[in-house]
Structure 1
Amino acid sequence: MRLRIFTEPQQGASYDTLLTVAKAAESLGYDAFFRSDHYLKMGDVDGLPGPTDAWITLAGLARDTSRIRLGTLMTAATFRHPGPLAIGVAQVDRMSGGRVEFGFGAGWYEEEHAAYGIPFPASGRERFDRYEEQLDIITGLWATPVGESFRYEGRHYRLAEGPALPKPQQAPRPPVLIGGTGKKRTPRLAAAHADEYNVPFCGVDDTFAAFERTRAAVKSSGRSEPMVYSAAQVLCCGRDDAEVARRAGAIGREVEELKENGLAGTPAEIVDKLGRFAEIGTERMYLQVLDLSDLDHLQLVAEQVAPQVA
């Protein structure tokens, strides 16, 4: 199992803070650095100094790191038009030397749209319809051979003979991640478009059930390309119970709740739970790190957890 660092900068982080964490993750051997795509804090935090844009952040990290892979869980389809988004992701992929992964979701947090004047379709069906069209467009633009044009006629988006440039550095495209626990449409879209399917913040049993729905959709679609299965869990690791409690307190959570709903405990306890995720086919685990000032946390997991699950 590969371990990846996943951050939530809307809770309060500058670019310099994110760069420090990304460089630490790179030097410690983590597989990837991911961030959320949100413009408004959640819960009882001040969120200072304010939000940072996901793809501007990744563009900076593309030049300020050298090895670690970079991506989003998940870019919101409601935030950007599909054509410019395809251009931006392709550009960042080239800036990084081909290290970008494109996590893409329909968008859900209505309050942040209101806070920054971003249109938010009231109907979940419409949001998903727009999201599906955006998936068609973005992957279609990347797949169009150089010298040919791309045309699309959908209900919500229309593209007229676009040049479909620039191309990402990775061929045929950056990996596409689709996540969530929807029972019908999400598995179908993952089977059609995704290279990786991610289940966020669920227990082992619910994660397995979601994996199985997507595995069934992949099989029924006739697809031959392999799918990567991954999960995301909040991280709270300590050398002993006192350190676990201190780290839980720093992020405003209770230890027992974190042990039930995340990856919490000593390195041995976390290795055991990661083993249960591995048994159901989890190939990558996104470790949600909420205290970005605690780099010792990353080092502890890199030294005492990662070697046992590699």
Structure 2
Amino acid sequence: MDLRIFTEPQQGASYDDVLRVARATEDLGFDAFFRSDHYLRMGDGNGAPGPTDAWITLAGLARETSRIRLGTLVTSATFRHPGPLAISVAQVDQMSGGRVEFGYGAGWFSAEHAAYGIPFPPVKERFDWLEEHLAVITGLWSTPAGETFSYDGAHLQLHDSPALPKPAQARVPVIIGGHGKRRTPALAAQYATEFNVPFSSLPDTSAIFERVRAACAERGRDAGELTWSAAQVVCCGRTEEDLSRRAAAIGRPLGDLREHGLAGTPAEVVDALGRFAEAGVQRVYLQVLDLADLDHLEVIASDVLPQVG
């Protein structure tokens, strides 16, 4: 099972804070460093020093790391025009030597849109945008060098784009996820290389996987081509004192974390990961909420990672 570190910098972190976690992620042997793409803190507080832009951050990390995969869970289709976004992601992929993965979704957090003047249409329209954006972004990347790309959609029209630059990878992995019952599985079956279920119970995760497998079958795609992943908050400690301290630092009751996340001693976390593996999960994004606690990553790397990797 791949273990990846997943951060939420909008909760209050500078680029230097994020860089320290990314370097620790690489040094300690984790597979990848991912970050959210949000512009406003969730919960109490003002999120000082303020948000950092996901793709500007990843561009910096592309030059300051050498091994780990880098990506978003997930970039919102409401934030950026798809043509310029395809250029940005391709450039970061080049800057990293082909280590970028592209998580993409319809967007959901209305408050951040209001705070920064970003249009936030109803959910159906957001999914309409997402569907066209995926067609355009993947179409631009996959257009052979020397040819042009055109697209005539309800919301987007592109005419004879040179479809440049190209990513370093022949195919940038596309991650689609969520809890949607119809359009999300259909989009995953068409475009995704990975499907992710965030912050859900095992029964719910299994049920969502089945919907995506059914969508793949309907499209005539082998579901085995997809990587199946989950995201869960992590709180790991060798003693109850460590666990209680870490839970308090992120403002979550330890009992709640044990019930609804990956929390406990290393042995407890390994057992929980084993249950996810039995449900078909091949990759887990460990949501680390206290970015100052690098010892937390060390505990997971030394006591959990060798038992599941």
TM-score category (smaller protein): over 0.9
Q: CA deviation at 1:42?
A: 0.5
Q: Which residue of 2 aligns with 1:9?
A: 9
Alignment partners' CA distance in 2, 1:109 and 1:156: 22
Q: Which residue of 2 aligns with 1:59?
A: 59
Alignment partners' CA distance in 1, 2:190 and 2:159: 24
Q: CA deviation at 1:119?
A: 1.2
Q: Which residue of 2 aligns with 1:298?
A: 297
Deviations 1:93-122 (A, max 9, x none): 00000000000000111111111111111x
Q: Which residue of 1 aligns with 2:162?
A: 163
Alignment partners' CA distance in 1, 2:258 and 2:96: 36
User: Aligned letter for 1:83?
Assistant: G
1:276 match: secondary structure: helix
User: Aligned letter for 1:118?
Assistant: I
Deviations 1:44-103 (A, max 9, x none): 133110000000000000000000100000000000000000000000000000000000
Q: CA deviation at 1:215?
A: 1.2
Q: Which residue of 2 aligns with 1:196?
A: 194
For 1:204-243, what aligned pairs fall within 5 Å after superposition? 204-224=202-222, 226-243=225-242
Q: Which residue of 1 aligns with 2:76?
A: 76
Alignment partners' CA distance in 2, 1:112 and 1:279: 37
Gaps of 5+ in 1: none
Alignment partners' CA distance in 1, 2:6 and 2:127: 24
User: Aligned letter for 1:145?
Assistant: P
For 1:135-284, what aligned pairs fall within 5 Å after superposition? 135-171=134-170, 173-224=171-222, 226-284=225-283
Alignment partners' CA distance in 1, 2:26 and 2:105: 26
Q: CA deviation at 1:34?
A: 0.2
User: Aligned letter for 2:258?
Assistant: K
Alignment partners' CA distance in 2, 1:15 and 1:142: 28
The percent of aligned pairs where both chains have the same amino acid is 69
2:302 match: secondary structure: helix
User: Aligned letter for 1:100?
Assistant: V
Deviations 1:157-209 (A, max 9, x none): 110111111100000x2100001011111111000000000000001111111
User: Aligned letter for 2:200?
Assistant: C
Q: CA deviation at 1:220?
A: 1.9
1:281 match: secondary structure: coil
2:225 match: secondary structure: coil
1:212 match: secondary structure: helix
1:197 match: secondary structure: strand
Q: CA deviation at 1:218?
A: 1.2
Q: Which residue of 1 aligns with 2:133?
A: 134
Alignment partners' CA distance in 2, 1:164 and 1:81: 14
1:256 match: secondary structure: helix
TM-score, structure 2 as length reference: 0.99
Q: CA deviation at 1:221?
A: 1.1
Q: Which residue of 2 aligns with 1:49?
A: 49
1:181 match: secondary structure: coil
TM-score, structure 1 as length reference: 0.98
Alignment partners' CA distance in 1, 2:86 and 2:184: 21
Alignment partners' CA distance in 1, 2:253 and 2:208: 27
For 1:78-117, what aligned pairs fall within 5 Å after superposition? 78-117=78-117
> 4+ runs of 1 displaced by more than 4 Å?
none
Alignment partners' CA distance in 2, 1:195 and 1:126: 24
RMSD between superposed Cα atoms in Å: 0.8
1:168 match: secondary structure: coil
